Structure 1
């Protein structure tokens, strides 16, 4: 059964929460982070994207970047922008986006559960992204990025969380610049804390990584690297757990750098063997399973899978698998999307205009829009021990970094 523990969060002074809270480190590149932090020296991006405070000549994976993150974190504490909770607590985190609300429980989950598959995975990770977080956690001593976990909805847990929300005032409540509202309550009553832990231990047999495979894997590898000197904090990692009936998955789209030596005309001809290909007058948002959009040479196309391009098993039926097997691998020679530099991934929150922009810029040759994976598909794949192709799911809204941080050396 799932082990969820309270913890002593490092968190902002209430009046500074909106300034400090930042978008997750992995949804912004360095240049975007610099723009985001202009005029705001209190942004948590100075810790999660600390290369913004170093010369551009410094590689973003250089040890100087991680040392700067540690320096900036210590400075935030010294300036009393952040403080450590006096006792172990749970936290309730509600997000509202476009009128749709979802509420999760923040605690720390067991690294042992991760390694023993009580925390289930549905994706492999990319080695260079893992190593980046390993270096960041080891050097800073902090898990600054939240792992987004899902569990099958449970009426008792839902009722307990809603009761606490109704009875207590939030410690943080603000609307960020992207119009997403973030509200956090502290659960510091010992009876309530014990009741939450017991409910999960008795009623939730497993949890599922929805977003944050790299952060979870890195936490486990950091503990292993520390070895016998590891403090208790390293045995757990920062997680927010959401019931499955509140989650929203968006599309996660693909870009390929080149056409593997094919001309655009030849590529289209090859596609017609596996797909019905029809030019479109505007960007294509797939309307259902086995339908794709493609942007090539200034034109959008609608692709519809022909029989034989997919199977009925949990992995083979996914559109990310259909695209990977029949196009990216077979036609473009991108056999390992985890490591191949000729592929990139664009979350649906950026819109299809981002795909057009990047292809029109000349760095990428073709883009594909996909129909989103469902939460039931995710659970089915994880339960059977299978994995999706990387970057198959994009969850929105995103949790903000900096509101709740877990320290591993204490």
Structure 2
């Protein structure tokens, strides 16, 4: 079902590839304001293309397009001579673990099809403004500046040997990126090997883990080019989207919890009011240490942590009899999620913000780390922190195949893909004469 193809990637020239930490960057939706300010001071950093700022009277997108043209002319970025599938390994450690993990995957082109066609499945909704922003940048640059993250499932791990072999001769690597991971990039250019990658993906849809806004922007750009040109072969680069694909069967595919911060209590409420209202739906048990909450919650359905000003910590356990009293118009896979229950019983029933409004509600914020959640409450930046457990890969797959979506910010796949390792052009010029050999190999004439 998923149509993937190799590409002739654009990469930093060898001199710059030797110092990747100075030119790579976090993705646009995870880079903090402080990180962004520091990276803008580095003139060759990829953030100038992925999250551009206005310069010399130019709006961000045109400014990025001017810089992209200059980087091509100056040899800052160079295009590989041959098409390939780019193998990408990320080595990392989780808190509390001593062993080093390795998430194995590869970057390629995947046909940018609408959600309704079922070739790429989503698990969250998008914000139209964010899609428009990404689409404007893509139309201006005609360059995909970072890969989104997709998931396929192969319990036989048929592709890992091919990827391991490619890793014997890496193209470039970081010592340690901004999140503490070590990133290594290699390439597979053997046609027979690439056919094996295509065969595995052709048998199944892909689940989009990260990058819903960028993917929708690629779909919109493809539709716009199709309307503008009319006739097309279907093989033009603008039909495709740059994606990093990892095996959902791997134990090194990690999803970390994302905690919810209540920015302020309703008017007239105190912490005691909140606790009393929560007690209508949850068993509320005080705990001595907030740091112990993750262990107390682990593996317990309907269990959450609560942290309030003054260091007050609680374990919340949803009263099981309540589930039979609620009729939610959603698939069973979504009803079963702890986060669905948290958003319904806490934010809708207790706080009074109806489900449809929660998506754009400024009263809630999302943070990944326990320490950051506690810090914001301690410093008065939030009135309460609701601590959650991680979503499982099985839950993600079940929701995606149901056709529904999860509550906002349900997943945090770790580590994040690093921006700036590989760029993909979707310009019309990519289908010029020197592309004919590529086409004849990967799209041979019928019969």
1:251 aligns to 2:257 (yes or no): yes
C-alpha separation between the residues in 2 aligned to 1:179 and 1:20? 16
Structure 1, 217-226 or 318-327: larger mean CA deviation: 217-226
TM-score, with structure 1 as normaliser: 0.89
Change in Cα spacing, 1:309 to 1:105, as seen in structure 2 (3 Å) is farther
Q: What residue in structure 2 maps to residue 140 of structure 1?
A: 141
What is the match of residue 340 of structure 1?
A: 361
8 Å contact 1:5–1:108 — kept in the other structure?
Answer: yes
Give the match's secondary structure for 1:292. Answer: strand
2:231 aligned with 1:220, yes or no?
Answer: no
- Is 1:70 aligned to 2:65, yes or no? yes
Q: CA deviation at 1:113?
A: 6.5
Say whether the 8 Å CA contact 1:151–1:243 is kept in structure 2: yes
Residue matched to 1:10: 10
Distance 2:12 2:174 in 1: 13
Q: Give yes or no for contact 1:260–1:333 (8 Å, CA) kept in 2.
A: no
Counterparts of 1:3-402 in structure 2, within 5 Å, are 3-17=3-17, 18=20, 19-38=22-41, 40-51=42-53, 64-98=59-93, 99-112=100-113, 114-155=115-156, 157-162=158-163, 164-165=165-166, 168-177=168-177, 178-201=179-202, 204-229=203-228, 232-246=236-250, 247-261=253-267, 262-280=269-287, 281-283=289-291, 284-285=293-294, 286-288=297-299, 289-298=301-310, 299-310=312-323, 313-335=332-354, 336-346=357-367, 348=368, 351-402=369-420
Following the alignment from structure 1 to structure 2, what is the Cα–Cα distance between the partners of residues 14 and 339?
44
- Secondary structure (helix, strand or coil) at the match of 2:333 reads coil
Task: Give 1:257 shift.
Answer: 2.1
Poorly superposed stretches of 4+, deviation over 4 Å: 309-312
Q: What displacement does 1:159 show?
A: 4.2
> Residues of 2 paired with 1:382 and 1:238: CA distance?
21
The answer to whether the Cα contact below 8 Å between 1:176 and 1:182 also exists between their aligned partners in 2 is yes
> Structure 2 CA distance, aligned partners of 1:142 and 1:310?
48
| Displacement of 1:48 | 1.8
For the residues of structure 1 that align with 2:286 and 2:15, how far apart are their CA atoms? 52
1:21-72 residue CA offsets vs partner (Å, 9 max, x unmatched)? 211121113333113455x322211222222x659xx9xxxx8122222223
Contact 1:260-1:331 within 8 A present in 2 as well: no
CA offset digits 1:298-340 (Å, max 9, x no partner)? 3332211111454792111211101110011222233333222
Q: Secondary structure at the match of 1:112?
A: coil
Question: Take 1:134 and 1:338, find their aligned partners in 2: how far apart are those partners?
Answer: 21
- 1:256-304 deviation digits (Å, cap 9, x = unpaired): 2222223221111000111122233223323233221222223332211
Cα distance change on mapping 1:211 and 1:291 into 2, 3 Å: same
C-alpha change, 1:300 and 1:140, in structure 2 (3 Å) is farther
Q: Is the 8 A contact 2:5 2:110 kept in 1?
A: yes
* Residue matched to 1:409: 427
Structure 1 residues not aligned, in runs of 5+: none
- Comparing 170-179 with 307-316, greater Cα deviation is found at 307-316
Instruction: Give 5+ residue unaligned stretches, structure 2.
Output: 94-99, 325-330, 429-447
- What secondary structure, in the 3-state scheme, does the structure 2 residue paired with 1:183 have? strand
Q: State the alpha-carbon separation in 1 of the partners of residues 205 and 227 from structure 2.
A: 27
Question: 1-side partners of 2:398 and 2:108: how far apart?
Answer: 25
Q: What is the alpha-carbon distance in structure 2 between the residues aligned to residue 152 and residue 161 of structure 1?
A: 16
Q: Which segment drifts farther, 119-128 or 172-181?
A: 172-181
Q: Is the CA contact 2:366–2:409 (under 8 Å) kept in the aligned structure 1? A: yes
Return 313-322 or 333-342, whichever deviates more: 333-342
Residues 291 and 304 in structure 1, CA contact (< 8 A), matched pair in contact too = yes
Report the secondary structure of 2:290's partner residue. Answer: coil
Residues 308 and 315 of structure 1: CA distance in aligned 2, closer, same or farther (over 3 Å): farther
Q: Which moved more, 1:310-319 or 1:23-32?
A: 310-319
The CA distance in 2 between the partners of 1:49 and 1:159, in whole Å, is 33
Q: Distance in 1 between matches of 2:392 and 2:237?
A: 34
Distance, in Å, in 2 between the alignment partners of 1:273 and 1:399 is: 42
